[in-house]
Structures are given as C-alpha cells and as structure tokens.
Amino acid sequence: MSASISRELLQVLACPKCKGPVELSEDAEALICHTCRLVYEIREGIPVMLIDEAIPVEQYGNQDSSR
C-alpha cells in the first residue's frame, strides 16, 4: 500500500539520528536518510521515525512483506 506524505511534512521531518534531511523512497512507502543510510517505514500513512525500528538501506527491499 502506497502512503502519501505531503511536501510540507517532508520538509519539516528530519532523521532522528543525525537531524539531517530525509527523502521519500521510490516506492513512497518509506523515508530515507542518506547520511545515516537508514530507512524509516511509513505505516498506515504515518512515518515511523524511531531509530530502533529503522532499517539499514542495504536491507530495505529485501524485507519479508508480512510486516
């Protein structure tokens, strides 16, 4: 399911680890911090900006879809 994040919200969101910018993933289902190389999933339209739940960029896309 694709989630929609407004452009305004995307401009104010920051990576909780480095406080740097995040960008919407190509599939629009996650936010990516390229500095930390972490992916924050968007669940039911809500970005989950928790460091403990972040996925390393290298593992994103290889996830089991049962989440």
The 10s digit of each residue's pLDDT in 16-33 is 999 999 999 999 999 999
Structural domains in the chain plus CATH codes = 7-56 (2.20.25.10)
Report the distance separating Cα 45 and Cα 58, nearest Å: 23
Phi-psi category of residue 34: left, alpha or beta, with phi > 0 → left and psi -120 to 50 → alpha: alpha
User: pTM (2 decimals)?
Assistant: 0.84
CA distances for 16 relative to 22, 51, 64, angstroms:
10, 7, 25
Q: Sorting pLDDT into bands at 50, 70 and 90, what band is 1? A: very low
The 10s digit of each residue's pLDDT in 6-16 is 889 999 999 99
**Is 40:66 a contact under the CB 8 Å cutoff?**
no
